[in-house]
Amino acid sequence: MSGTIKPGTIMMKAGTIIPQSLRVETEPYSHGWEIIKNSDADAVDRDIRRADWNFFFLAGNMQATALGCWGERTIRRAIERVLAKAKPSKLNCLEITQVSAKQFLGFPYVHVSAHSRHIQKSPFLQELAERAEP
């Protein structure tokens, strides 16, 4: 699984309404979130815009770390921390922008950065209260 998480990976809430023309393969990941397996962020963005939908990008960067050596479990813990930070915004997608292994004083850790994304038909981002939970 750690090979599938890389910069450009899109995670989407399970049950997100997407254009019918958007053909994505998803894989369950964590607590109601799925990974889009067959496309990166650029391809998903192009396909959504081609269907006359919108794929919003929010500038706020979310970061998390998890102690441990580079591996699936450590990456998953760091990503779950990012997903917890993304939850209050009620946006339906997340783009992974960085995954790296680092060390501090000899202790290994994994660092993950991500940006919130949102798929919807309207060209205006919905208010927080309007965003429906799938």
pLDDT of 2 > 70? The answer is no
DSSP SS3 for 71: coil
Residue 127 lies in a domain: no
- Give the CATH number of the domain where residue 69 resides: 3.30.110.70
Output DSSP code: residue 134: -
Residue 131 lies in a domain: no
The boundaries of the domain holding residue 69 are 10-120
The pLDDT value given to residue 3:
53
> What pTM value is reported for the model?
0.87
Residue reference for tokens 């959504």: 48
pLDDT of 34 > 90? The answer is yes
Distance CA 17, CA 98 (A): 26
Residue 5 lies in a domain: no
